[in-house]
Amino acid sequence: MTDLPRTLLITLTGHDRPGVTSRIFGTLAQAGVEVVDIEQIVLRQQLVLGVLVTAPRDWRRLRQDVQDTAAALGMHVEVTRGVGDNLPRAGGRSHVTIIGMPLRAGAFAAIAGRIADCGANIDRIERMARYPVTAIDLHVSGADPEQLRAVLATEAARQGVDIAVQPASLLRRGARLIVMDVDSTLVQGEVIEMLAAEAGCEAEVGRVTEAAMRGELDFEESLRARVALLAGLEESALDRVYDRIVLAPGARTLVRTLRRLGYRFALVSGGFSQITDRLAADLKVHYSRANELEVVDGRLTGRIVGPVVDRAGKAAALRDFAAEVGVEEESVVAIGDGANDLDMLSAAGLGIAYNAKPVVRDAADTAVNVPYLDTIMYLLGISREEVEAADAAEGYVTPAPPV
């Protein structure tokens, strides 16, 4: 212990304005000290600056000089003497991302309590977004990420917030492959139901869907049965349906932003390639795989061309696209909402249940239950402010936040 250098921790608080940091460091420079650590945040124009420096021989003189500088700035300062650097962070490091709409103090208190119950420590807190959701990223150490995920998943359900727990690693910063389901994920609603409306067979298609949900039909049987009901529908109906498709809020922002960072995207759907291929082209998505509706003489025949993209087929597509991109499966993020997505979510390094059914939420690595697809960027360590700055640089207009 005696071999460790003496250090001073200087904590400055008060109203922020230009020049505060430079004034404090100017005072420290006169004493010839070395900077060991530093952190600074600003909340509602209130500055909190913490600086750990080596202690000079006449450390009391430096303390007085720092206090005089703070007084001249109209700020409060505390100077405490100690030994050595900050303690190193414990092992078992994780990023815990909390998303609330709203995020209430009681919910945050409960989550912090569960983290403490696991023997873990919150080392740092960052805000990723303040609207239309509140997203907070916690740097946590001292607990196994899998154990932490299980504990916090239960608390998230109790508090009505979303929580994602990811091991802290370089993987979070690397360019990855994003594989997305389409119906009720990338787009609102189900394309086959829209086609059924065009064909005047909504009720019949609905009955087949309900039978599948009761377990009386598997996905392939139900799909073929529903497609058979579309026999005779003119091909132009596909254009009308496409024109009525509504993307999930934030879908374009998600793709646009992550493409800037070198991410690759794939659409994998149990729906129809006549729709998904057009979506991929519109959004500049790199890959797409779905079922192909057979068309003869300008009309649907009621049959599928080739093998059906079912639950296993989605996972196979994910692996194929990962191999083509040249990334490991642990670098894939999969997003889906239904039982048909379970194998795909399991195959990915990060499987996200997006406004999903309970069985899917329970099986996925994490769940997002707010209606904004771009919220997923916060799980990847990208803040809304960074997104808006990049959009502004390219001329995109972002709606003003609430005051």
Which of 183, 343, 365, 374 is an active site residue? 183
At 61 the pLDDT is 95
Q: Is 189 helix (H, G, I), strand (E, B) or coil?
A: coil
At 16 the pLDDT is 92
For the sheet with 134-141, list strands across it. Answer: 121-129, 134-141, 94-100, 162-167
Beta strands in 194-305 (DSSP E): 264-272, 287-296, 299-305
Domain count, the chain: 3
Domain boundary among 168, 196, 225: 168
Does residue 359 sit in the same domain as residue 378? yes
* Dihedral in degrees, nearest 10, Cα atoms 188, 338, 219, 199: -10
CATH number at 353 reads: 3.40.50.1000
Maximum distance among all Cα pairs of the chain, rounded to whole angstroms? 92
At 347 the pLDDT is 96
Task: Tell me, yes or no, whether 218 lies in a domain.
Answer: no
Task: Report the b/e string of 307-318 with b at 16+ CB within 10 A.
Answer: eebbbebbbbbb
Q: Tokens at residue 20, please?
A: 């505060």
**Residues constituting the chain:** 403
Task: Tell me, yes or no, whether 225 lies in a domain.
Answer: no
Amino acid code (one letter) for 39? E
Instruction: Give the domain range for residue 374.
Output: 177-188+247-391
Q: For each of the chain's 403 residues, which pLDDT tens digit applies? A: 456 678 999 999 999 999 999 999 999 999 999 998 998 888 888 999 999 999 999 999 999 999 999 999 999 999 999 877 666 666 788 999 999 999 999 999 999 999 999 999 998 899 999 999 999 999 999 999 999 999 999 999 999 999 999 988 877 777 799 999 999 999 999 999 999 999 999 999 989 888 876 668 888 999 999 999 999 999 999 999 999 999 999 999 999 999 999 999 999 999 999 999 999 999 999 999 999 999 999 999 999 999 999 999 999 999 999 999 999 999 999 999 988 999 999 999 999 999 998 889 989 999 999 999 999 999 999 999 999 998 898 888 766 665 5
CATH number at 60 reads: 3.30.70.260
Task: Tell me, yes or no, whether 1 lies in a domain.
Answer: no
Task: Tell me, yes or no, whether 232 lies in a domain.
Answer: no
Which of 181, 337, 341, 365 is an active site residue? 181
At 112 the pLDDT is 94
Does residue 68 sit in the same domain as residue 154? no
The answer to whether 123 is a known catalytic residue is no
Domain boundary among 59, 83, 107: 83
Does residue 309 sit in the same domain as residue 257? yes
Q: Tokens at residue 374, please?
A: 């771009």
Task: Tell me, yes or no, whether 198 lies in a domain.
Answer: no
At 400 the pLDDT is 62
At 1 the pLDDT is 45
* Dihedral in degrees, nearest 10, Cα atoms 20, 22, 26, 31: 90
| Residue bearing tokens 């209430």 | 104
Phi, psi (5° rounding) for residue 165? -120, 120
The answer to whether 183 is a known catalytic residue is yes
Task: Tell me, yes or no, whether 397 lies in a domain.
Answer: no
